[in-house]
Each structure stands twice: as structure tokens, then as C-alpha cells.
Amino acid sequence: MDRTSHVRIGTRASALARTQTEWVAAQIRAWGFSVVTELVTTRGDVVVDVPIAGIAGGDGVFVRELERALLDGRIDAAVHSFKDLPTAETPGLSLACVPCRASPFDAFLGRSAPTLEELPAGAVVGTSSIRRVMQIRLLRPDLAVRSIRGNVDTRLGLLDKGQCDGLILAAAGLERLGLVDRITQILRPDGFWPAVAQGALVVQIRQDDARMRSVVAPLDDPETHAAVRAERACLAALAGGCLAPIAAWARSEGGVLGLGACVFEARGESVERIDSHGVSADAGEKPEDLGGRVAGELLRRGAAGMIARARLAGGATAGMGVHGRD
């Protein structure tokens, strides 16, 4: 394998994106390759004054420029937070490997109380995610929600300045940035469900690049890869993008892959939730088959209508005025 030429890895410029990419780069360097990182500005990074769902092409605004850089040959690989990727794969590109997953759960960062349950009525929770807003409304309809965007430091600054009483962020991002001490509560299923592929990274390459496929192959964690494949298959079968009010979590227990998924819909000031669970039927079943079966049950219970109504509402929670990605 040729180790004489540089491996060029593209990344967004945020601290979290660069930290994630540098971790991948460090593994590759340890195998004797020379690695350089290239900063790529995405549309989601530039347009910061409107909710993500309000940006044209909102599903994928944090990845499209990186994908173009790959297709143009400016970079050899791109490191993404897997939950940012649309379910439809881009022609000519390949999702080559999925490293071991960090925490898939959401984290609550409390200022006036340590847990979501202990917040006083009327307290303000900051989040940019429709999925999180739905679940806050389901669990604590007496709380207010403020839509916020920006990197982790920006959001923490708003919390520290008293602009909100608590934040909900992905635990994985806080872990990777060394900010675990800011977490006051981990939000876990069945009480609070994470986004599809949350906590997982993915390395994307050109489909015909055999060299890069070999370079990154040792990074792949089969258990994580299988879990994320099941989650994304469920999302795809529901015809939901990464902005849809859909949550899922797959994990292997005793060699058996299990998947739970939920769909949420705002009904005025209340929220309706439907959920479904499944496990691999046998050792030969593909993760995608499990995802399809769980999605099928959700569709039988009315998920299609819920998702369609959310889409007609422009990606906003009805009457709540909140948009965004995780």
C-alpha cells in the first residue's frame, strides 16, 4: 500500500468537527501514512441566521460541500457526524467505515436545576432539534423552548449568560470536546430517544478509490456499523430525513441486534408519539431488514401521516416555532 503520498481529509471548521477529524487522522498516521486536513465551509456553517429547516436543501447542508470536494478530487476522505447525512447516498461516493460509537444519547445541561424533571414550570430549555422539542413537550409541556443555533461553545455561552435554564446537546460531542463535566443528566430511552446514528462517525470516500478504502478499513467497528445501518434503514423506509421528528436506537446485546424507533407529531400544544421495537430474526438477517420491519410497524400505526403533516408544516413543530437539526 502506498504510504508516500498525503491522505487529505476534509472537515468542517467547527471545534467538534476538527476534533473528530483529528481523531481519525491520528489513527491513520499511526499506521505510517502522512495526513493533512483541509477545512471546507458548508452552507450550514455560513447561513446561521435562519433555522436549518429554513435553508434550501436543509437535509444535508452540513455535508454537501464536503461531498463536492470529494467528487472533485480536492480531498480523499471526509469525516462526518453520521446523523448529518441524508439517508440517500450520493452517487460516486461510499460510506467506507464507521468507527466505534460514542454515547448515542442526549445530555441535559442544567443551570437552574440538574435534571429536566426538576426544572420549575416556565423554565426555558434551549435546543435546535425538532425531535428534542417534541420530547420536551411530551414530558414537560409546562416548559418553554428556545430555538438556538451555533457551535457547542456558542450554546454554552447562552446558557452561562442566563439566556436559558438548560440545554440539550448530544452527549457524544461533549465527550469528544472534553466537556463531560457540563453534563448534569443523561437522557436515555424509553424516556428520551436519540437521533438516528447519533454518536457515530462515518468516513466517506470516492466509490472507486480502492487505496482509501484499504487505508480506512481498520477503523470500522462492525457492531456500530450494523446498529447504524438498522437505524438508517428504518429512517429511509419512513421516508424521513435527518430533520424529521424521528428517533431510533439500535444496539447489540448477546450477539442479537435490537432496534427501537419513535415518531412524534405536534398536536397543538400536545405531542403524539408512536413507537416500535424489534430484534434480529436470525443470525442471517441484515440490519437493513430489521430496520425495515420496525419501520413497517410504525407505518401500520400511522407514521406516514404524522411525517407528511410535519413536512407540510415546513419542518416546524406546529404552533411552536422551532426548527433545526441536532
- For 113-142, write each residue's pLDDT tens digit: 999 999 999 999 999 888 999 999 999 999
Same CATH fold assignment for domains 7-100+200-220 and 106-187? yes
Residue 307 and residue 263 in contact, taking contact as beta carbons nearer than 8 Å:
yes
Least confident range of 25-29, 31-35, 146-150, 295-299: 146-150
What grid cell was written down for 64? 454537501
- pLDDT, tens digit, for every residue of 232-251? 999 999 986 656 789 999 99
Give the pLDDT of residue 151.
Answer: 87
Mean pLDDT score across all residues of the chain: 88
Give the pLDDT of residue 71.
Answer: 95
Give the pLDDT of residue 57.
Answer: 47
Q: Which residues are marked as active site?
A: 84
CATH H superfamily, domain 106-187: Periplasmic binding protein-like II (3.40.190.10)
Determine the topology of domain 7-100+200-220 in CATH: D-Maltodextrin-Binding Protein; domain 2 (3.40.190)
Segment 75-87 mean pLDDT: 93
Distance CA 161, CA 217 (A): 44
CA angle 265, 274, 310 (to 5 degrees): 20
Task: Report whether pLDDT(45) > 90.
Answer: no
Give the pLDDT of residue 55.
Answer: 36
Q: Which residue has the higher pLDDT, 231 or 284?
A: 231
Confidence band, pLDDT 50/70/90 cuts, at residue 272: very high
Segment 160-172 mean pLDDT: 96
pTM of the model: 0.89
Question: What angle, rounded to 10 degrees, do the helices at 15-30 and 152-160 form?
Answer: 140
Domain residues of the chain, as ranges? 7-100+200-220, 106-187, 234-312
CATH H superfamily, domain 234-312: Porphobilinogen deaminase, C-terminal domain (3.30.160.40)
